[in-house]
Structure 1
C-alpha cells in the first residue's frame, strides 16, 4: 500500500514537472514570436525613418534652392527658419535673420499693412496676400508679393506661420512706367484734341472714348457700340469711302489713315483724322485700335490760309497791273516830254531848211536835236532795262546811273564796297530798282546838290542813299512808305525780308538805309 502510494506520488511529481516545462516551452515560443514581430516592426520603422529622412532631404533641397524666399515665423512674428532665396533678398547673413522680426525688414511706410496682414493670417487661418516694400540690410528698396498661412504640424508643438516672399520690383517699376506713359498719353491726347477707338473684329463692336463722342457729334451722348452706327454718323459724302477703307484695312491687315467729316444736329461740320492698325495677340481675337483727332480748327485755318493766299494773289495781280499802268504812263510821259518834243523840233527845223539862207547852220541844228533825241532814247532805255546790268553787273550799272543822272547843279557820288563777286541777276535787278527809285525821289523832291549812293555787302546787303537837300518831317513810318514810289520799294523789300529806315529833318537832308537778307545760292 505504501509502495503504491509512493509510486503515485512519484508519478504526480513527474507529471507536475512535465506540465511546467510545457508551459515554459509555450512561453518561450510566444517570446520568440513577439521577438520576430518586434524585429519586423523595427525593420518597418527603420525603412519608414529612411524614407522620412529622404523626403526631408528632398524637401530641404527644394526649400533651400527655391527661387522664392520662404520664412517660417512663430506666432510672435520671429523668424525661426529661412531659405537661401530669403537670405539673398535681405542681403545679410542667416544669423541676422533667425530670431528677429520679419517686420524689421519692411519699409516704415508699409509696416501698418504688414501688421494687418499678419493679424488677419493668425485670426482667419486662411491664406493672406499683400504687396509691400521691403528694405535689405544694405538699404536696397524692393517690392514684394507676400503670401502667408498658419500651419499646425503637430498638436503638441506651437503653431507656425509659413510665408512666401516674391520679388516683384521689376513688375512694379514697369507698372509705374506704364502708368506714367498712360498719363502722358492721356495728356497728349487731350492736348491734341484726340481720343481712342477700338473695333473687335470677331463681333464688329466699336468702342469710343468720351472725347470722341464730341468729335463724332453723337446725339445725346449715347452710342450703341455698333460699327454700322459709327459709319452712319459720318457725313454722307464721306461715308462710303470711309467704310471701304476700313474693310480694305481689315481684309489686308493694314493700317488706316483717313480724314472724314461728321455733322452734328446743329448742322455744324467737324473734321476728324482717323488712324489705326490691327493688333494680333496669341489666344485673343484680333483688334483694330487707333486714335481719332479733331482737326476742325486745323481745317478752318487751312481754309483761311487758302482764302488769304487767293486774296494775296489777287492783290499781287492788281499791284502788278497797277505797276504796269504806272510804268506805261511814265514811259508815255517821258517820250512825250523829251523824245517827242525833240522829234517835233527836228520836224520844224527840217521844214525851214529849204527856205533858210544858211542851210548848213540849219542842218547842224537838226543834227544837234537828233543827238539829243538819241541820248534821251538811250536814257529811257537804260531806265527801263539797262543792258549793262546783265553784261557787267551791279557795280558798273550803279556807276553808269550816277554818271547819266548827274548834272552841273546836282552831283551823284557812289561808294560801292565788296561788290566784286556777282549776285543772282534778279537780286541785282531788284537792288538797282530800289536805288533808282530812291535817287529819283531825291532828284524830284529834295532840291539837293549832292546825292550819295553807298552799297556794302557782307552777311547782308546794306543800301544807303543820302542827300543834302531840304529834308522833311518823317512823321509815322507807315505814312512815309505810303507813296507810290516807296510802296514799290516796300514790295521789293518783302522778297528779301528787308527793312527800311528813313531819317530826315527840315533843312538837314535825308538818309535812307535799307538792309536786305540775301541767301547764298
Structure 2
C-alpha cells in the first residue's frame, strides 16, 4: 500500500514537472514571437521613416531647383521684357500681356516651390499653410474648392506632424485634380476635440476591396499617417466620389 501511494505521488510530481516544462516552453515561445514581432515592427518603422525622409529630400531638391533655376530665369526674362519695352515704346501694347503672364508664372512657381519645401511648412502655422495652398489652387484651377476650418483653441503640431499632414493634404488634392475628374473638392479641418481633416470630391470614385489593391499614393499616405500615429480612412465607390479622412489617433 505504501509503495502504491509513493508511486502515485512520484507520478503526480513527474506529471507536474512535465506540465511546468510545457508552460515554460510556451512562455518562451510567446516571448520569442513578441521579440520577433517587435524587431519586425522596428524594422518596418525604420524603413518607412527612411522612405519618407528620402521623399522629403527629393521634394526639397525640386523646390530648390524651381526657386534657384526656373524662378531666376523667369526673373531674367521679365527683366529683358521690361528693358525691351523701354527701348521700344511702340511694342508696349504687345509685350505687356506677355510680361504679365511671365510675372504670374513666376509667382506660381514661387508658391509651388514653397509648398514643396518642408522647412517652409515647418516654419509656418500648419492651418495657415493649408489655407494658403487652397487659396492658390482656387486661383489656378477650374475645379471648385470649398474650404472650412474650425480651430479653437490654437493647436500646436510637432514638425513631423506638420510635414506629414501637409503632404497628405497635397496628395489628396492632387489625386482629386488628376485622377478623380472631380468638379468640386471639399476640405474640412477641425481641431477639437481632436484634429481631423476630411478631403472629399464628387469624382469618379473607385472600389477598395483589400489593402493590396490600394494605389501607391494611397499606401504612401497610409504609411505617413501611421508614422505619426494618425488614422487614415478612405471611403469611396464607383461614381460616388471619394472622401479621405485623417484623424489624430494618439489619445484614442
TM-score, reference length from structure 2 = 0.68
For residues 171-216 of structure 1, the C-alpha deviation after alignment (integer angstroms, 9 at most, x for no partner) is xxxxxxxxxxx9xx9799446429xxxxxxxxxxxxxxxxxxxxxx
Q: Given that residues 468 and 510 in structure 1 are in contact (C-alpha distance below 8 angstroms), is that contact kept between their aligned partners in structure 2?
A: yes
Q: Which residue does 2:130 correspond to in 1?
A: 398
Confirm or deny: 8 A CA contact 1:474 1:502 kept in the other structure: no
CA contact (8 A) 1:356 1:362 kept: no
Q: Is the 8 A contact 1:353 1:362 kept in 2?
A: no
Query: Secondary structure of 2:198's partner?
Result: strand
Gaps spanning 5+ residues in structure 2: where?
1-12
Counterpart check, 1:491 vs 2:234: no
Partner residue of 2:3?
none
Hey, what does 1:373 align to over in structure 2?
106
Unaligned 5+ segments in structure 1 are 1-181, 195-293
Equivalent position SS for 1:466:
strand
**Rg larger in 1 or in 2?**
1
Question: Which residue matches 1:421?
Answer: 154
Partner Cα separation in structure 2 for residue 517 and residue 310 of structure 1: 19
* Residue 36 of structure 2 corresponds to residue 304 of structure 1: yes
Task: Judging by fraction of residues, say which structure has more strand.
Answer: 1
Q: Which of these residues, 194, 202, 217, is aligned with residue 468 of structure 1?
A: 202
Question: Higher relative contact order by CA 8 Å / sep ≥ 6: 1 or 2?
Answer: 2
CA contact under 8 A between 2:148 and 2:187: conserved in structure 1?
yes
Q: How does 1:33-432 map to 2 (within 5 A)?
A: 189-190=20-21, 192-193=23-24, 297=29, 300-301=32-33, 304=36, 308=40, 311-312=43-44, 315-316=47-48, 318-320=50-52, 322-324=54-56, 326-327=58-59, 331=63, 339=71, 342-343=74-75, 345-346=77-78, 349=81, 356=88, 358=90, 360=92, 364=96, 365-366=98-99, 369-370=102-103, 372-385=105-118, 387=120, 390-391=123-124, 393-407=125-139, 409-426=142-159, 427-432=161-166
Inter-partner Cα distance in structure 1 for 2:92 and 2:195: 54
Report the aligned-residue RMSD: 4.3
What's the offset of the Cα at 1:401? Answer: 1.9
- Indicate conservation of the 8 Å contact 1:388/1:396, yes or no: no
| 1:441 matched to 2:175 | yes
Shift, 1:378, TM fit: 3.1
**In proportion to residue count, which structure has more helix?**
2
- Relative to structure 1, the CA distance from residue 502 to residue 361 in structure 2 (aligned partners, 3 Å threshold; closer, same or farther) is same
CA shift digits 1:129-152 (9 cap, x unpaired)? xxxxxxxxxxxxxxxxxxxxxxxx
Matching residue of 1:505: 237
Q: TM-score, normalised by structure 1?
A: 0.37
User: What is the SS of the residue equivalent to 1:395?
Assistant: helix
- Once the two structures are superposed, residues 433-470 of structure 1 have per-residue CA deviations (whole angstroms, 9 ceiling, x without a partner) of 3222211221222232221111234454332111122x
| Contact 1:410–1:449 (8 Å) recurs in 2 | yes
- What is residue 215 of structure 2 aligned with on the other side? 482
CA distance in 1, matches of 2:101, 2:246: 41
Cα distance between partner residues in 2 of 1:394 and 1:318: 23
Alpha-carbon distance in structure 1 between the residues aligned to 2:68 and 2:214 = 29
Write the distance in 1 (CA, Å) between the matches of 2:19 and 2:68.
70
What is the distance in 1 between the residues matched to 2:71 and 2:100? 14
